[in-house]
Chains A and B, each alone.
Chain A
Amino acid sequence: GIQVEQSPPDLILQEGANSTLRCNFSDSVNNLQWFHQNPWGQLINLFYIPSGTKQNGRLSATTVATERYSLLYISSSQTTDSGVYFCAVFGSSNTGKLIFGQGTTLQVKP
């Protein structure tokens, strides 16, 4: 099955700094989503981005499907950005199940 690898596993930033999180996947995908898991454990949808670039406020994402990676950019980070960021994909499955990466744990210090 598809393998999803995220890097870095952990990231510590000072408030106001920018960061880039990476998601590599091992095969062609039909769907890629980025999630933020908040301290209460909720999975918050950030982007549905099987290809191309999208922006939402301080966050943006780019997926280069032909090269099998996606990037999540966080600019001017805030303490509320802390948490775990997951990338999830599905490929040829006809059920739409998502395969998650291990996540990047982000801590933003004031």
Chain B
Amino acid sequence: EPEVTQTPSHQVTQMGQEVILRCVPISNHLYFYWYRQILGQKVEFLVSFYNNEISEKSEIFDDQFSVERPDGSNFTLKIRSTKLEDSAMYFCASREVLNTEAFFGQGTRLTVV
């Protein structure tokens, strides 16, 4: 069964460093998303991506965040200068078209020290 794949599963980084979280969405899907979940809290929307551009972003998704689909299969989230409060689980998701089921990757647990 096709699945969304995220790497790495866990990343520890120093405050102020740049990190790139990687995702391979399901191949025929057109809509891509990043969400995050701070420990013990609910899952929050960060950004949606469609037709090679950002279609919506939340207030959390400020200038230190960026997304890319560099090669038609990968979908990345970059955090330029990490802060302690960026520590969270980051989920990538994709869906084929609107009004269909969204599928989530297994998550990347980011720890900023």
- Using a CB–CB distance below 8 Å, which chain A residues touch chain B? 30-31, 33, 35, 40-43, 45, 48, 50, 86, 88, 93-103
Contacts and interface: CB of A to CB of B under 8 A. Distances in A.
Contacts of A45: 101, 103-104
B24 to A, nearest CB: 16
Contacts of B98: 30-31, 94, 96
Contact of A102 (B42, B55, B56): B42
Nearest to A50: B99
B56 A98 contact: no
Nearest to B102: A98
Interface residues of B, number: 26
Contacts of B42: 86, 100-103
B99 A30 contact: yes
A50 B100 CA distance: 10
Contacts of B35: 98, 100
A109 B81 CA distance: 43
A95 B104 contact: no
Nearest to B99: A30
A96 B100 CA distance: 9
A97 to B, nearest CB: 5
B112 interface: no
Interface in B32-47: 33, 35, 37, 42-45
A39 to B, nearest CB: 13
A50 to B, nearest CB: 8
Given A100-B42, A100-B43, A100-B44, A95 B56 contact: yes
